[in-house]
Amino acid sequence: MSRRDFSIGKASAIAISCGVIEDVLPALSATPRQPILTDGPTEVAQVSSSPTADIRPREADALVLGAGIAGLAAARTLVDQSLSVILLEARDRIGGRLWTDTLLGLPLDLGASWIHGIKRNLITKLADQFGVETVATDYDNCIVYNFDGRKISDKEYIAAESLFESIYALHEQEEIDMSLQQAFDRVLKNRTLSDDQLHKLQFVIEGEYALELGADPDHLSLWEWDQDGEFSGLDVVFPKGYNQITDGLANGLDTRLATKVELISYGANGVAVETSSGSFVADKAIVTFPLGVLKQAAVKFDPPLPAWKQSAIDRLDMGVLNKVYLKFPNVFWDETFEEISYMGERTGEWCDWLNFMPYINEPVLMAFHGGTKGFTIEELSDAEIIAGAMKILRVIYGDGIPEPDGFLITRWGKDPLAFGSYSYIPPFASGDDYDALFKPVEMFYILPGRPQAAISRYRAWSIFIRCRGGGGDRVSGGE
């Protein structure tokens, strides 16, 4: 059994982004039709239809800020409903945290890789619509090595997982919220474990949290960490890259790249957005910046976001997952296993490798670092990172292995347009904080229902500002 079998949440973040769109967009359009990205019927709220005159000419009906999957899907839907839309994006590319890089001569995803659970998942629909090839992955197809290069037997590994399960079951008895780590420590205080047991337990815990959620147990709320919904069906990756989905959505949209938003002013007369490439005015704006960008106040709002919404932004936090790709001249590893795990002396370092041979038939390995280790690796130089990777591969496969032909290293925590990979729920924050991101500032109109999609561990979210005559503003955010 793979440690990922413990993974409770397998929802797709990206589908969540579209979930926001399903909920919000029907009310944004003046003459709504069935949005292309929805699954079910949508009800349209009654809104005022006579905006007051503007003081400045409008460039478009709506501005969509950020051209990640959320922004692209929002813009696509609005355009399909006959609204004029301009997408403003700070990077010189679309896709945001979906980023297929071809520097090594083949498409490799530096951000998201998977559709987690293909059934009833909007990304699956888009992949079908755009004719994008996918390949199923199997986390059970895994081999685990100890720090000395010895293979860990199934029996040993299952024992470590069982130990984790017993601790996990006990910690749920706590009556006040605290960090997961504090709860684990309370349980462990009453258990006598050998060093070897503790080492293996830490490895399992690393896989459960830092690598899944981008945050270590001491940063996660005992009660609320797991707000994930789950899509059923296979997990799949895109051999030719995730950006095939964003490229499909972006086709024909008016997208302004290298346009960094600095100030968003909103009120009864519309929305004015100041950017590095001039200002834009529209009736409405949809903001799809990552939580990390909003936490850093990298973009200013005028008026500022209300306190209850700002405090939700403050309470939630952004974790990190980083990837290191290594392309070799030939395969020297266990070619048939998809996942190669390493229980190193320092937990979390080079512990999780993906073999890309089964997916793209190329000699590529990719290592994950998450949570604290994910942030720490960002401080190292490229040369130090590659030396660290090769040291571990030599422990496992011997000194005769070749040097890599090329590498790719991500540093999502330092990325000023993301400040992390996805969000998580720290102690004393809760799923209610995500609800607060959805909640309107003023109930100028009522949107029906909750977002249909469940909250995912990959926390992308959007703020929605709608400005109309009469002073109605709506700011809504969600996963």
Asked if 71 touches ligand FAD (CB under 6 A), the answer is yes
Q: Which is nearer to ligand FAD, 223 or 280 (CB)?
A: 280
Residues 444-463 close enough to bind ligand FAD by CB under 6 A: 458, 460
**C-alpha–C-alpha distance, residues 359 and 446, integer Å:** 45
For ligand FAD, which residue of 288, 355, 423, 476 counts as binding (CB under 6 A)? 288
Quick note: the x/- pattern for ligand FAD over 201-240, rule CB under 6 A, is ----------------------------------------
Asked if 13 touches ligand FAD (CB under 6 A), the answer is yes
Asked if 69 touches ligand FAD (CB under 6 A), the answer is yes
Asked if 390 touches ligand FAD (CB under 6 A), the answer is no
Asked if 418 touches ligand FAD (CB under 6 A), the answer is yes
Stretch that binds ligand FAD, among 24-32, 90-98, 158-166, 334-342 (CB under 6 A): 90-98
For ligand FAD, which residue of 60, 70, 215, 436 counts as binding (CB under 6 A)? 70
User: Could you tell me how many residues of this chain bind ligand FAD (CB under 6 A)?
Assistant: 40
Asked if 301 touches ligand FAD (CB under 6 A), the answer is no
For ligand FAD, which residue of 19, 26, 32, 111 counts as binding (CB under 6 A)? 111
Residue 89 CB, shortest distance to ligand FAD, in Å, is: 5
Asked if 321 touches ligand FAD (CB under 6 A), the answer is yes
**C-alpha–C-alpha distance, residues 101 and 83, integer Å:** 32
Q: How many C-beta atoms lie closer than 10 Å to residue 388's C-beta?
A: 17
Residue 290 CB, shortest distance to ligand FAD, in Å, is: 4
Asked if 412 touches ligand FAD (CB under 6 A), the answer is yes
Asked if 261 touches ligand FAD (CB under 6 A), the answer is yes
Q: Which is nearer to ligand FAD, 62 or 152 (CB)?
A: 62
Q: Is 88 left (phi over 0), alpha (psi -120 to 50) or beta?
A: beta
Per the document, the length of the chain is 479
Residue 24 CB, shortest distance to ligand FAD, in Å, is: 13
Asked if 9 touches ligand FAD (CB under 6 A), the answer is no
Asked if 114 touches ligand FAD (CB under 6 A), the answer is yes
**Radius of gyration for the alpha carbons in the chain, expressed in angstroms and rounded:** 23
| End-to-end Cα, the chain, rounded Å | 31
Q: Which is nearer to ligand FAD, 33 or 119 (CB)?
A: 119
Asked if 144 touches ligand FAD (CB under 6 A), the answer is no
**C-alpha–C-alpha distance, residues 330 and 332, integer Å:** 6
Asked if 122 touches ligand FAD (CB under 6 A), the answer is no
Q: Which is nearer to ligand FAD, 152 or 312 (CB)?
A: 312
Is the bond preceding 426 in cis, omega lying within 30 degrees of 0? no
Stretch that binds ligand FAD, among 2-10, 60-68, 263-271, 342-350 (CB under 6 A): 60-68
Instruction: For residue 195, give Cα distances in angstroms to 199, 217, 354.
Output: 6, 20, 28
Asked if 76 touches ligand FAD (CB under 6 A), the answer is no
Residue 95 CB, shortest distance to ligand FAD, in Å, is: 7
Q: How do beta strands 364-370 and 321-327 pair?
A: antiparallel
Residue 139 CB, shortest distance to ligand FAD, in Å, is: 12
Q: Which is nearer to ligand FAD, 113 or 179 (CB)?
A: 113
Q: How do beta strands 235-237 and 300-302 pair?
A: unpaired
Q: Which is nearer to ligand FAD, 30 or 297 (CB)?
A: 297
- The number of CA neighbours under 13 Å toward the Cβ of 268 is 7
**C-alpha–C-alpha distance, residues 259 and 69, integer Å:** 17
Stretch that binds ligand FAD, among 93-101, 146-154, 426-434, 467-475 (CB under 6 A): 93-101
Asked if 291 touches ligand FAD (CB under 6 A), the answer is no
For ligand FAD, which residue of 24, 83, 112, 144 counts as binding (CB under 6 A)? 112
For ligand FAD, which residue of 2, 3, 4, 14 counts as binding (CB under 6 A)? 14
Asked if 273 touches ligand FAD (CB under 6 A), the answer is no
Asked if 292 touches ligand FAD (CB under 6 A), the answer is no
Residues that bind ligand FAD (CB under 6 A): 12-14, 17, 65-71, 88-91, 96-98, 111-114, 116, 260-261, 288-290, 293, 298-299, 321, 323, 412, 417-418, 421-422, 458, 460
